[in-house]
Amino acid sequence: MRSPFDLGGRTAIVTGANTGLGQAIAVALAQAGAGIVAVGRSSMAETKVLVGATGQPFHEIAADLATLEPIARIVEEAEAAAKANGSRLDILVNNAGIIRRADALDFTEADWDAVMDVNLKSTFFLTQGVAKRMLADGKGGKVINIASLLSFQGGIRIPSYTASKSGLAGLTRLLACEWAGKGINVNAIAPGYFVTNNTEALRADPVRNEAILARIPAGHWGQPQELGGAAVFLASDAAAYVHGVVLPVDGGWLAR
């Protein structure tokens, strides 16, 4: 009997798959049987090796999601890669994101727009493009947005990041309402404090690092591979009746 967590024969697009959380999610999905189409703006050589070790197909698409320019190309190339492996576009993981830090009084329009364009605008239009392909054959699919604890909380010194991740949580619920009856599950994962490039400044600040660790019941920063199980679950048949959820994976942070 096939496990409900088995992703064999499916293809997943993972944005921002070159490093950190995106890379870990891509590897976890591949370990569960999915072929990977990795989208990123820098080298994905390491991700290719890690996915290759699972024996699953890997296709790389170089693209910068700072604008909408590459959206159509990503969808078309990803679909072609899936078909070449006898599959289709079954899963989309919207992980690509950026962050800018400054006091709200000093925050610039350029930093606001840069974050919103990648984290929210490109995410929506890539999802729109992929969903059209998922619906074309009536087989639906899975969309997983990578939200944040800042989808629930305010934070400090990251106004556009908080706004974008709060917006992404709302967008997740809206798309779930529109598409659940059409066979597309739209959910989100809200990572806590993980060891990634985005948190390097926090981890390097002794005061902030100590304060953050003091609030995490698990007692440590999350490692990227600790996010993979949640992604596999939401991408699988085990989550067939899960719609519009923003699932925290935070070491207990929100429970504190």
Active site residue 161: yes
Q: CA dist 85 to 6, 7, 247, Å?
A: 17, 14, 31
Question: In a 3-state reduction of DSSP, which class is residue 16?
Answer: coil
Which one of 16, 151, 161, 199 is the catalytic residue? 161
What is the pLDDT, as a whole number, of residue 198? 82
Residues of the chain with pLDDT below 50 are none
The CATH number of 11-246, from 3.10.450.40, 3.40.50.150, 3.10.129.10, 3.40.50.720, is 3.40.50.720
Delimit the domains of the chain by residue range. Answer: 11-246
Cβ-contact 250, 193 below 8 angstroms: yes
Contacts 24+ apart (CB under 8 A), 70-74: 71/122, 71/125, 71/126, 71/129, 72/129, 74/13, 74/39, 74/126, 74/129
pTM here is: 0.97
d(C-alpha 256, C-alpha 20), whole Å? 26
One-letter identity of residue 103: D
pLDDT at 189: 98
Residue 197: per-residue pLDDT:
87
pLDDT digits (tens, 9 = 90+) for 133-180: 999 999 999 999 999 999 999 999 999 999 999 999 999 999 999 999
Per-residue 3-state assignment (H helix, E strand, C coil) for 18-34 = CCHHHHHHHHHHHHCCC
| 152 closest CA partner among 24, 74, 246, 227 | 246
